[in-house]
Homo-oligomer: A and B are copies of this chain.
Amino acid sequence: MRLLLINPNTTEAMTDQLTEVARRVAGPSVDIVPVTASRGVPYIASRAEAQIAGVEVLEIIAEHGKGTDAAIIAAFGDPGIIAARELFDMPVVGMAEAALVTAALMGERFGVVTFSPLLARWYVESVAVTGLTDRFTGVRCPKTPPSEVGNVMHDMRDDLLALTNQATEEDGADVVILGGAPLAGLAPLLAEASPGLLVDPISAATAQAIALSRLGTSYAHRTTRPAPKPSKGLGPALAAIIAGETS
């Protein structure tokens, strides 16, 4: 099995961290193919940046998707996911959506903990998109953003544990998602000290991409693909998909 892991942020180090965690979950029999965005911003933190990243996701799947069994969009907020599902004949899994759905299978109520208040609202909107808002206990985050994103997982570990416990004990979350690519791989490190069940989004996305591939669903006959049409200004692989020339 071969999974395309797309980092819609332009930061390579983040791709490496995400890939390492995904490989740990997937095991040796699954091939993880990482690709980093070449258009966009270092770390997506707004709807404007996600609008741009979503197009880059389409370009990447068009160019690198051939021969893979499923694609993972590895940014919370899942930029481009609805568009990608229209265009491509394979499972497309978003990191936010996979984390939320996995949490929903583990308990009745779930919350999100993240490292910056700037992301809190967008996470709320990501939950709304899935339809799971009534089971959501909210986002817990520090009051101010960190000065640097790179190492937050270690620098803020105690704070993040405290927030996780508040999500469980005060908000009533049975399950807590540790959201944001910079927290990839944190969940097992906090598990011992946490009263809730913890979800690591990239792990959840990897497990769900494998689950969907395992089902062997046929995408060949689906009619939800948009009608073919000409386009201007896109990469050749994406233009060919939109023109209906390839699948």
Chain B hits for A58, CB < 8 A: 48, 51-52
* A132 interface residue (CB < 8 Å to B): yes
Q: Which of A12-20, A153-161, A178-186, A224-232 contacts B (4 or more CB under 8 A)?
A: A224-232
Distance of A73 from chain B, by nearest CB (Å): 12
Bound CA–CA A149/B221 (angstroms): 27
CB within 8 Å for A233 and B172 given contacts A45-B226, A46-B226, A97-B105:
no
Chain B hits for A40, CB < 8 A: 231-233
Closest to A229 in B: B41
Chain B hits for A162, CB < 8 A: none
Distance of A189 from chain B, by nearest CB (Å): 11
Residue A196 contacts which of B46, B93, B222 (CB distance < 8 angstroms)?
B222
| CB pair B49 A55 closer than 8 Å | no
Bound CA–CA A130/B192 (angstroms): 29
User: Oligomeric state, in number of copies?
Assistant: 6
* A197 interface residue (CB < 8 Å to B): yes
Interface residues on A, range: 35 or more
The B-contacting residues of A in range 203-237, CB under 8 angstroms, are 203-204, 207-208, 210-212, 214-219, 221-224, 226-227, 229-234
| CB pair B204 A221 closer than 8 Å | no
Chain B hits for A233, CB < 8 A: 38-40, 56
CB within 8 Å for A106 and B217 given contacts A58-B52, A207-B211, A226-B49:
yes
* A168 interface residue (CB < 8 Å to B): yes
| CB pair B231 A217 closer than 8 Å | no
| CB pair A219 B232 closer than 8 Å | no
| CB pair A219 B207 closer than 8 Å | no
Bound CA–CA A97/B105 (angstroms): 7
Residue A105 contacts which of B47, B51, B93 (CB distance < 8 angstroms)?
B93
| CB pair A131 B104 closer than 8 Å | yes
8 inter-chain pairs at a CB distance below 8 angstroms, sorted by A residue, are A25-B214, A51-B55, A51-B80, A52-B83, A85-B106, A106-B212, A198-B218, A207-B215
Interface contacts beyond A48-B82, A85-B108: sample of 7 additional A-B pairs, CB < 8 Å, sorted by A: A39-B232, A47-B86, A49-B226, A102-B211, A106-B217, A195-B223, A197-B217
